[in-house]
């Protein structure tokens, strides 16, 4: 059963409150406020929010000749809604009433030059091209055939556009680069001859068929042959002499490196990792620690879990020598990535680098953060000045990440969030206070950062004043919060 907070948001959303509509959509996507996870409902409320925002902007123009369809979707207010729409799993909304709106919105966003366009491009590419989604693609094709002129083209032409998106993602450093490369490998041509050769290897262990499949360009065959020659898989019988007990000869390792390099060029992360291992073997004539590290780093970039952990652990060991603005940030990122993929050693090492404070009730500023949340939700009613709203957001962030008072007042909110943690660095004002890295553990922490980031993005840098002014405002705001909301909190 949904919570009272959810029902309250639903009530405001039905009254046309744009912020409530967006919060309601977010709840349907994340399950926050005990809401059921329903992407189709999220898309419906985002559609309402999108047109509400466009109508608000239209109302600001004095000229009546401008139509809602002519408004630029790159306007910040509209773009913000489109970015939220990109988080909806489009394939799961295919049979919903709002799918047509979502489909058109994804194509609009995919063509814009913003970070969120990568999300839209990946979702469209996966939906239209992934071989594992044939049934969904058939349904989509049937839906497109019923549309009249507003679908953007027939299914095959849309697949060509999606292939362009996929190639762009594979050749650009984005969070979807690795996924795009893996999907491209899946989409390699699989003619009957190549399939039969690969099946002969899988079923009969026919090594001649494996070699032929590799020569014909099948990435997985190149990888498998390279791993066998490098003795990464089961022991391979060979007439070649082994230079060292338990190791392969230099000639065999050269052949292994040759095939693995070909697979690596296709974007195979396992091939890059195996190459890193080969360059570390003393019996290999091309032994090179630097080249080995380059291969491991490339494998990490492509999402190889062990390579990511190795890269992070190496960076942490060399943290004194690394020229980083915030020591340990790079190491924590790679170890966090490995932890996300289930590498057991990553959890312990990550806990040494990142602080964790997932329970706001146990952190400092909890009561004031609750009051601040109420004040922000009713800031129009209380006629709060912008500086007071900014400080309320600071109190909420401080509670979520257990900041000190100095960190609360001085941290740069717009620069706090990284993908896996927040970086609290106030050395510009207090040089002796070392930066802190704090892990982002909960959805609420991310939501708090997102909400605060939107507010601070629209404010001037000098608006909050110097440290003395901020301290004075802090005393005034906290006193007002306690006076205004203490009785209300006790009653509820």
Average pLDDT, the chain: 86
Residue 426's pLDDT band (cuts 50, 70, 90)? very high
Beta pairing, strands 421-424 & 436-439: antiparallel
468-482 mean pLDDT:
95
The β-bridge partners of 436 are 424
Q: Are 442 and 359 contacting, i.e. CB atoms less than 8 angstroms apart?
A: no
Taking 70 as the threshold, does the pLDDT of residue 473 lie above it?
A: yes
d(CA 153, CA 107): 12
Q: At what angle do helices 344-353 and 305-317 cross, to 10 degrees?
A: 30
209-231 mean pLDDT:
92
The β-bridge partners of 355 are 438
Pull the structure tokens for residue 448.
């708090």
Share of the chain above pLDDT 90, in %: 48
**Range with the largest mean pLDDT of 139-148, 210-219, 305-314, 444-453:** 305-314
Taking 60 as the threshold, does the pLDDT of residue 237 lie above it?
A: no
The β-bridge partners of 36 are none
Q: Output the 3-class SS for 262-282.
A: HHHHCCCHHHHHHHHHHCCCC
Fold of 192-237+245-353: 1.25.40
Position 183 scores a pLDDT of: 86
476-482 mean pLDDT:
94
Taking 60 as the threshold, does the pLDDT of residue 32 lie above it?
A: yes
**Range with the largest mean pLDDT of 30-34, 69-73, 177-181, 307-311:** 307-311
Domain ranges of the chain: 4-60+71-186, 192-237+245-353, 360-491
Residue 31's nearest CA partner among 444, 492, 462 is 444
d(CA 387, CA 407): 17
d(CA 251, CA 229): 10
Q: Which residue has the tokens 């890059």?
A: 272
Q: Are 271 and 248 contacting, i.e. CB atoms less than 8 angstroms apart?
A: no
Pull the structure tokens for residue 408.
């609360």
Q: Are 88 and 101 contacting, i.e. CB atoms less than 8 angstroms apart?
A: no
What pTM was computed for the model?
0.63
Taking 50 as the threshold, does the pLDDT of residue 234 lie above it?
A: no
Taking 60 as the threshold, does the pLDDT of residue 62 lie above it?
A: no
If 0-12 CB within 10 Å is exposed, 13-18 middle and 19+ buried, where does residue 131 land? Answer: exposed
If 0-12 CB within 10 Å is exposed, 13-18 middle and 19+ buried, where does residue 474 land? Answer: middle
The set of residues, in sequence order, having a beta carbon less than 8 Å from that of 380 and lying 6+ positions away, is none
d(CA 357, CA 337): 19
Q: How many residues does the chain have?
A: 492
Taking 80 as the threshold, does the pLDDT of residue 1 lie above it?
A: no
Position 241 scores a pLDDT of: 39
Position 112 scores a pLDDT of: 84
Pull the structure tokens for residue 79.
């773009």
Q: What are phi and psi of 182, to 5 degrees?
A: -65, -40
293-314 mean pLDDT:
94
The β-bridge partners of 39 are none
Query: Can you spell out the DSSP letters for 425-446?
Result: --TTT-TTS--EEEE--SHHHH
End-to-end CA distance of the chain: give it in Å, rounded. 19
Residue 277's nearest CA partner among 310, 302, 245, 321 is 310
Secondary structure (3-state) at 417: strand
Position 387 scores a pLDDT of: 92
58 or 5, higher pLDDT: 5
Q: Are 386 and 477 contacting, i.e. CB atoms less than 8 angstroms apart?
A: no
- Give residue-wise pLDDT tens across range 245-279: 345 677 889 999 999 999 999 889 999 999 999 99
- Give residue-wise pLDDT tens across range 114-138: 777 899 999 999 999 998 888 899 8
């Amino acid at each position: 059963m949904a919570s009272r907070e959810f029902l309250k948001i639903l009530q405001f959303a039905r009254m046309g409150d744009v912020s409530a509509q967006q919060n309601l959509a977010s709840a349907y996507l994340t399950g926050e406020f005990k809401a059921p996870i329903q992407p189709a409902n999220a898309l419906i409320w985002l559609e309402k929010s999108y047109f509400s925002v466009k109508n608000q902007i239209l109302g600001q123009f004095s000229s009546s000749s401008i139509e809602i369809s002519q408004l630029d979707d790159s306007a910040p207010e509209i773009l913000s809604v489109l970015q939220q729409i990109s988080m909806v799993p489009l394939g799961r909304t295919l049979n919903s009433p709002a799918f047509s709106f979502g489909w058109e919105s994804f194509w609009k966003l995919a063509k814009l030059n913003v970070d969120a366009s990568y999300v839209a491009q990946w979702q469209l590419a996966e939906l239209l091209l992934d071989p594992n989604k044939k049934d969904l693609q058939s349904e989509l094709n049937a839906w497109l055939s019923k549309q009249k002129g507003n679908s953007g083209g027939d299914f095959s032409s849309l697949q060509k556009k999606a292939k362009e998106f996929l190639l762009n993602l594979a050749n650009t450093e984005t969070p979807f680069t690795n996924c795009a490369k893996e999907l491209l490998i899946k989409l390699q041509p699989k003619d009957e001859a190549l399939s039969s050769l690969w099946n002969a290897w899988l079923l009969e262990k026919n090594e001649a068929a494996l070699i032929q499949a590799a020569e014909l360009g099948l990435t997985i065959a190149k990888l498998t042959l390279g791993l066998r020659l490098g003795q990464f898989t089961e022991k391979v019988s060979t007439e070649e002499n082994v230079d060292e007990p338990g190791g392969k000869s230099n000639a065999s390792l050269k052949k292994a490196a040759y095939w693995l390099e070909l697979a690596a060029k296709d974007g195979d992360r396992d091939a890059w990792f195996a190459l890193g291992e080969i360059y570390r073997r003393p019996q290999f004539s091309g032994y090179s620690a630097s080249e080995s590290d380059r291969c491991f780093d490339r494998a990490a970039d492509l999402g190889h879990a062990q390579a990511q952990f190795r890269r992070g652990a190496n960076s942490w060991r060399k943290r004194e020598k690394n020229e980083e603005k915030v020591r340990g940030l790079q190491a924590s990122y790679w170890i966090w990535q490995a932890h996300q993929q289930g590498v057991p050693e990553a959890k312990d090492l990550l806990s040494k680098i990142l602080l964790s404070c997932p329970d706001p009730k146990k952190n400092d500023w909890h009561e004031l953060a609750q009051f601040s949340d109420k004040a922000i939700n009713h800031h129009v009613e209380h006629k709060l000045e912008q500086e007071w709203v900014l400080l309320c957001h600071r109190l909420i962030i401080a509670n979520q990440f257990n900041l000190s008072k100095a960190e609360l007042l001085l941290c740069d909110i717009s620069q706090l969030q990284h993908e896996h943690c927040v970086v609290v660095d106030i050395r510009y004002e207090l040089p002796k206070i070392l930066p802190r890295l704090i892990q982002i553990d909960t959805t609420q922490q991310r939501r708090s950062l997102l909400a605060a980031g939107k507010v601070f993005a629209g404010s001037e840098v000098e608006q909050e004043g110097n440290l003395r002014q901020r301290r004075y405002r802090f005393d005034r705001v906290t006193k007002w919060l306690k006076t205004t909301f203490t009785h209300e909190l006790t009653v509820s």
